[in-house]
Structure 1
């Protein structure tokens, strides 16, 4: 990797400081929820630990770490957290994943997995159409055999499995 010259424009992207501040505030909020719930259950020691004793201790540690993250975000020099090109790559991976999760309920996990494999391999990968089709068929079939027939673990099924009698 070469160093940027004076004529090169710096890479554009999302700044680090706002991301770190937002993350710290989110974690502080989660720590607050843990502490509130723990103290509501009883976070003391009354002849032994009450229900919320250990979660409260973890909540306080979580809060301290979150405050440290917030403090550090103001001390570090600001820079680019993620470039727009890197973010585009994340969205390329996240898109098929969101589609997969959305399709589990209406289509069942096996058909949704096939759709996910097709979308992921077509969008992210550069695979041939026959390898995409073969993978999209074999992976759900093998998973069905392992989970449904061998381990007898029922996973969400859709209309295709109902039509096949499962």
Structure 2
């Protein structure tokens, strides 16, 4: 087992497939999806222009090269997934719980931002995350859940003059 080789599979995915097949499939699916996404970005970046103009790079220059790097990295991951036998499952049942515990509040933040605005949803997200995941005291939760969105509001809306998504509370306050 020296030289970067791994031991044979030690388990299955619950459907009778060896763990290395599950890991290989997950690597290939992920690499393929991200390569397609990179291809979409390359296509759109070329549409915007990837060259250099008199005042600097065109709009698609940086997205183009970032997408090319993404595609190259995914190609390497795909080759590794095909050529390497990996005995570890992509994610175990014990690992999936904490991942979902972080993922669902983040998804909820994105969804509710459309209706209640960024600042209120950020306050709710921060409060839920700090209390549920971090198990912080209610005083700390309230302080951060109020101060963080306020700081974000002043930084983006007042200093940088960048409007962020607002909801009914901000409209009621006249913002």
Q: Does 1:144 align with 2:163?
A: no
1:22 lines up with 2:29 in the alignment: yes
Name the CA distance, whole Å, in 1 between partners of 2:24 and 2:137: 42
Unaligned runs of 5+ in 2: 1-9, 51-59
Deviations 1:93-144 (A, max 9, x none): 1111111111111111100111111121122111112221221111112222
Deviations 1:39-59 (A, max 9, x none): 989x9xxxxxxxx9x998987
Q: Is the 8 A contact 1:11 1:83 kept in 2?
A: no
Partner of 1:3: none
The gaps in structure 1 that reach 5 residues or longer are 1-8, 44-51
64, 79, 87: which one aligns with 1:71: 79
Q: How does 1:13-52 map to 2 (within 5 A)?
A: 15-30=22-37, 33=40
TM-score (norm 1): 0.69
Q: 1:119 to 1:11 in 2, by over 3 A?
A: farther
How many pairs does the alignment contain?
A: 151
TM-score, normalised to structure 2, is 0.66
Task: Name the Cα RMSD after superposition.
Answer: 3.7
